[in-house]
Amino acid sequence: MYQKLKRFEQIIFDICAMGLLLFYSYAAIITPAATQYHRGIYVIITYILVFLSYRSKNILLRVLDYILMVASIISISYWIANFEVINYRTGAETQLDTIMAVIGVVISVELARRVVGNVFVVIGSLMLAYGVYGAHVPDLFAHAGATFPELCIEIFYRSDGIFGIMANVLATYILLFVLFGAFLEKCGAQRFFIDFPLAAVGHKIGGPGKVAVIASGLFGSISGSAIANTVSTGAFTIPMMKKAGFKPHIAGGIEPAASIGGMFMPPIMGAGGFIMAELTGEPYSRIMLVALFPAIMYFFSVFVMVHYEAKKDNIVGEKSEHSAMGILKAEWYYTLPLVVITIFMLYGYSPGYSAIIGLITCIIVSWFRTETRIGPKQFLEAAREGAESSLKIGATVGVIGIIIGVLTYSGLVLTFADIVIEMAGGSLVLTILLIALASLVLGMGVPVTAAYLITAVVAVPALTHLGVNELAAHMIVYWLSQDSNITPPVCIAAFAGATIAKANMWKTAFSAFKFAKFLYLGPFLFGYVPGFSLNGTTMDIVKAFILIIIGTYFYSWFLSGIWIRWFIPNKKAA
């Protein structure tokens, strides 16, 4: 009986996964923006997939899972069907409106608990309590408050809540790029992303470490997750680094430090770039152009630090049996999906439409080799893997809606900027440091993309008030939102690297923290150097780029610590 139920659930999961792919591919071609139908259907299917993937083991509790699943379908369908009517009767909602809103809010918290853990339950509960009892908190944060049903109505039906910006961006862009990443991996491109840098720099000083940096840049630009990048490329690069002579904790630290750079590297930049485009109103092609040079500088910094780290112990990699040019000539077509996506977005096509063209290109590329061909079975597997990968962030959409909805309802979005400016005394340096601390604490409990969105809503006004242009302000928050991946005490990506390297967790974490130091320099460059975000005249931008390249080299050389050897006597000479 239980096995039959599991098979039935797998069939439903596959149907939903294919439905996501086909429906949103069609939607991306027809319209560049998500309507209430697109957002609602996305949330319904995501909720179903979460209940199927994170199901209770007890057969009786499975009954409760199905009750919650049906309740979520009913409440969200009610929102879709009555979207315009509810907007017309704002402030005069019926009892049925209220019941559906309460159901939707409560289920969204339970969904996040299953996927992300109890941290989201605590955060969601605290925000709901703050929304209800706002009149009883200190004056600095106080607001009028509301009853729980009234607050649920605000969160469930208003544009800043559950179906707000996060659901909109997920349904419009992110889902399709996650699916694109699954198809890119299925067509065999991931192997090229490792083989090419291995042949190009694998035999140089610190070669295996440099391979990790380049491979992480290539793969990370489409993976959308620093942790996924660390685990996938690290499974190959970390043992290779250890074999070449890197200490286990150094090898385990280099990979996650390089992996978070993929979140800054166009054309995809994880999910944050699409949210940034939505928040700023800038075309995504503009976001890509602004992000490109800083991303290259990040990888350049890690690359230089790896070089000097290897030079300390004279670590040299082995020469590959294939030449880099030979691999490029034989497998150049694996770059086509990324090239096609970039070209289409630069020509003004929507990111969703570009992702579909890129996905089709992946299928075409897969047929260049017999062993990588994507047929019906492989197509289903890629759709299933993409849907599974999207659940981690998709399941958080409800609680993120609660957080942003309560922040907006309470007015804290407006007062937070004043609080930060007052605490920092009008200093941009202290403001950036406070935002770094806030994003680090928030990143301990929520995914980095969620940390960016939540922090951006309240922190960007503080930065723009101090004279930072809006896009640069978002870049500051976005860069700092990644720090929880490699900054102790949580640093999940660093811990993943330590597990693969079989190294001490804390030594690996501090090594990753060391190699990723440009992560903390970048925000200050965005704040103080307008040319870093392409703001200014052409000559200003060129001057800024030249000075930053030189400065980054010496900054990374200094942080590598190789200069300390100048003050240590040479024992062999003695």
**Mean predicted confidence (pLDDT) in 233-252:** 87
Calpha distance 435→477 (Å, rounded): 7
With beta carbons less than 8 A apart as the criterion, state whether 259 and 234 touch. Answer: yes
Q: Which residue has the tokens 């929304």?
A: 131
Query: What are 318's two structure tokens?
Result: 């082995």
Question: What size, in residues, is the chain?
Answer: 574
| Mean pLDDT along residues 296-322 | 88
CB 324 within 8 A of CB 199: yes
CA 573/CA 477 separation, integer angstroms: 50
Residues 432 and 276: their CA atoms lie apart, in Å, by 18
Residue 475 amino acid letter: M
Residue 186: CB atoms within 10 A of its CB come to 22
Residues 552-563, mean pLDDT to the nearest whole number: 89
pLDDT given for residue 472 in this prediction: 94
Distance, CA of 140 to CA of 416 (rounded, Å): 9
Q: Quote the CA–CA distance of 53 and 61 in Å, as a whole number.
A: 14
C-alpha separations of 120 from 125, 156, 349, 488, 520 in Å: 8, 17, 36, 20, 27
Cβ atoms of 385 and 53 closer than 8 Å:
no
Residue 570 has a pLDDT of 56
Task: Tell me: pLDDT of 574 over 50.
Answer: no
| Alpha-helical runs (H) found in 271-375 | 272-280, 284-312, 324-331, 336-346, 351-366
Report the range of poorest mean pLDDT among 27-41, 261-275, 378-392. Answer: 27-41
CA distance 122 to 129: 10
What is d(CA 293, CA 301) in angstroms, rounded to the nearest whole number?
Answer: 12
The angle that helices 448-465 and 412-424 make with each other, rounded to 10 degrees, is 70
pTM, whole model, 2 decimals?
A: 0.78
* DSSP sequence for 82-109: THHHHHHTTT---HHHHHHHHHHHHHHH
Distance CA 561, CA 1 (A): 62
* Number of neighbouring beta carbons within 10 Å of residue 538: 9
For 496, the token pair is: 């993943």
Distance (Å) of CA 208 to CA 193, 203, 240, 263: 14, 8, 6, 22
What is the C-alpha to C-alpha distance for residues 528 and 427, in angstroms, rounded to an integer?
12
Q: Give CA–CA dist 155/408, Å, rounded.
A: 10
Question: Of all residues in the chain, what percent carry a pLDDT higher than 70?
Answer: 95
Dump the DSSP string for 108-154. Answer: HHHHHHHHT-HHHHHHHHHHHHHHHSGGGS-GGG------HHHHHHH
- Find where tokens 């709901």 sit: 128
SS3 159: coil
Answer whether residue 525 shows pLDDT above 90.
yes
**Phi and psi, residue 403, nearest 5°:** -60, -50
Lookup result for tokens 């600095």: 140
| Short-list 25, 493, 472, 449, CA closest to 274 | 449
Per-residue pLDDT, 499: 83
Do residues 17 and 387 lie in contact, with contact meaning Cβ atoms separated by under 8 Å?
Answer: yes
User: CA–CA distance from 435 to each of 122, 258, 377, 439 (Å)?
Assistant: 22, 23, 46, 6
Residue type, 492: I
- As a whole number of angstroms, the distance between CA 45 and CA 61 comes to 21
Grade residue 572 by pLDDT with cuts at 50, 70 and 90. Answer: very low
- Out of 140-149, 256-265, 332-341, 482-491, which region has the weakest mean confidence (pLDDT)? 482-491
DSSP 192-252: HHHHHHHHHHTTSBTHHHHHHHHHHHHHHHHH--HHHHHHHHHHHHHHHHHHHT--HHHHH
Convert the pLDDT of each residue in 58-94 to its tens digit: 777 888 889 999 999 999 999 998 888 888 887 788 8
CA nearest 255: which of 209, 313, 221?
209
pLDDT value for 414 = 66
Asked if the model's pLDDT at residue 503 lies above 70, the reply is yes
CB neighbours of 559 closer than 8 A, spacing ≥ 6?
305, 514, 517
Report percent pLDDT > 90 for the chain.
Answer: 27
**Average pLDDT taken over every residue of the chain:** 85
pLDDT at 444: 61
Q: Which range (153-162, 436-445, 458-467) has the least confidence?
A: 436-445
Cα–Cα distance between 156 and 92 in angstroms, integer?
Answer: 15
Strand partners, 316: 205
Question: Taking residues 115-138, what's their average pLDDT?
Answer: 86
Position 349 confidence tier, pLDDT thresholds 50, 70, 90:
confident
Comparing 147-156, 264-273, 437-446, which segment has the lowest mean pLDDT?
437-446
Which of 209-218, 402-411, 504-513, 515-524 is modeled with the greatest confidence?
A: 515-524
Query: Distances from the Cα of 285 to the Cαs of 24, 260, 342, 396, in angstroms?
Result: 21, 21, 8, 27
